[in-house]
Amino acid sequence: MSDSESPDHCDHGHDHEGPGYATPQAAIEEAERERTAYVMGIYTGTGVDAPDFVGVVDLDPESDTYGEVVNRVEMPNVGDELHHFGWNACSSSCHVDGLERRHLVVPGQRSSRIHVLDTKDRRDPEITTVIEPEEVFEHDLSAPHTVHCIPDGQILVSMLGDADGELPGGFLELDENFEVDGRWDPPGEIEMNYDYWYQPRHNVMVSTEWAAPETYYPGFDLEDVEAGKYGRKIHFWDWAEGTVEQTIDLGEEGQIPLEVRFLHTPEAAHGYVGTALSSNVFHFSKDGGDGDGAWSAEKVIDVEAREHDDWDMPVPGLVTDLLVSMDDRYLFFSNWLHGDVRMYDVSDPANPRLADRIWAGGTFGPSHPTGEDDREVVGGPQMLQLSLDGERLYWTTSLFSSWDDQFYPEEAEKGSVMLKADVNPRKGTMELDEDFLVDFGDLPDGPARAHEIRWPDGDCTSDVWQ
């Protein structure tokens, strides 16, 4: 059943008075075109002695500064390694009167410092709160990653390590005033942690695994994989109790499961996880997506490794990000090492069908995808973001500073780019916009890495519905 056919879930025990949209379909129909993007800018590991920042990118095609970084909110310290960030409130809190989607919660992966930005002035946000690392370490956690708003105004942050940067990780909860509320999960429920997503109507949260900070901070080492230091499991939690109810080991074909997404329709019991090193996409569902039974996971997309003269082994695609369009029709994911972005029709969730792909940078894509006279793209497609109407797909090219230096060392010297494809959801096609390139190599303090992207009015990787 599509969301438009389902009962309005703001009649699901409450009215729509708070932030966000009443339904995913309302987000598609009511949202205006994105005119501002917030994009992570990172100087960690570039040799530039400057703090990381949140960049404000102009996406208004009518503007004279379209496609430019028009403002930067610098962090107070150098070396945070900003990575992922999220909103204080989203559509999961649409029943909470008086709550605004206004504050960005911006953690530092390496510092464990958490910043809060007020975006009341969309083009000129300002830092209002800083949670220092010591407040995080008190709960034996470090290395914050995914930030999701959760119903009623709280914020949940996945933490990848303990206070010493070792295992286990866990989850940190902030209250609506951005004060540390404590640890959300009982310690010891999981060892490794990374991304997570929740689906309240099924009382479930699913989390994934990267590794201990002390393992991935220095860079990637295949011997660490052979030693079992990287994850290959996904965990299904009781959302209300904060306890793990089921763990699925994805095996050799599921090594390093990173980004995880449920379908947006709140009734749906289907989702996807990309496994970076194995370069596969798994579909997971609950009793085939309908019942009340156990969750299962099955590999549904296999990106084959490719030979390259400069590599001693076949090059894996390295699926590092994926997202689902707001109408649950398409799945997009990036192959950071190969250099392509893929679009799959997931109308039948368990049987994705390749619809289209674009090559840009990476190991096999063109180094000048937007024209030979334009600047060189020295990384591969990485963090993705899709417009709410599903017609514009954007991506950046940085993964993580030490991993960038290993696989694309020129990115530290030339900086990242942000690219865009125009999507035709009716035909299932994409076309690279060769007139659009945001150059993070041309900034006042020097070239920067660009990572996650967010829209002020919510997006396909942060909004959840009750």
Q: For residue 403, what are the CA distances in angstroms to 219, 373, 450? A: 5, 28, 14
CA dist 426 → 400, 421, 423, 438, 465 (Å)? 35, 15, 9, 27, 25
Rounded Cα gap, residues 159 and 17, in angstroms: 31
SS3 of 74-116: the string is ECCCCCCCECCCEECCCHHHCCCCCCCCCEEEEEECCCCCEEE
Q: What is the CA radius of gyration of the chain?
A: 20
Four-CA torsion 176, 386, 343, 195, nearest 10 degrees: -20
d(C-alpha 272, C-alpha 460), whole Å: 14
Non-local (6+) Cβ contacts of 464 within 8 A are 90, 91, 92, 148, 197, 198, 199, 200, 262, 266
- In this prediction, residue 6 carries a pLDDT of 35
pTM for the model:
0.95
- Is the bond preceding residue 409 a cis peptide, omega within 30 degrees? no
Place of tokens 């002390």: 214
| Spacing of C-alpha 402 from chain mean position | 19
Is the distance from CB of 425 to CB of 390 less than 8 angstroms? yes
Reading the chain (466 residues) residue by residue, the pLDDT tens digits are: 333 333 334 444 556 677 889 999 999 999 999 999 999 999 998 999 999 999 999 999 999 999 999 999 999 999 999 999 999 999 888 878 889 999 999 999 999 999 999 999 999 999 999 999 999 999 999 999 999 999 888 999 999 999 999 999 999 999 999 999 999 999 999 999 999 999 999 999 999 999 999 999 999 999 999 999 999 999 999 999 999 999 999 999 999 999 999 999 999 999 999 999 999 999 999 986 555 689 999 999 999 999 999 999 999 999 999 999 999 999 999 999 999 999 999 999 999 999 999 999 999 999 999 999 999 999 999 999 999 999 999 999 999 999 999 999 999 999 999 999 999 999 999 999 999 999 999 999 999 999 999 999 999 999 999 8
Of 384, 387, 341, 333, residue with least CA distance to 360: 341
What distance lies between CA 150 and its chain's CA centroid? Answer: 16
Sequence-distant (≥ 6) Cβ neighbours of residue 165 within 8 angstroms: 142, 143, 212, 213, 214, 217
Q: What is the pLDDT of residue 1?
A: 32
Report whether 436 contacts 377 (CB < 8 A). no
Which stretches does DSSP call E strand in 92-185?
Answer: 103-107, 114-118, 126-131, 142-149, 155-161, 170-174, 180-183
> Residue 127: left if φ>0, alpha if ψ -120 to 50, beta else—which one?
beta
Instruction: Give Cβ neighbours of residue 361 (< 8 Å, ≥ 6 apart).
Output: 339, 367, 369, 377, 378, 379, 380, 381, 397, 417
3-class DSSP assignment, residue 207: strand
**CA 164 to CA 169: how far, in whole Å?**
11
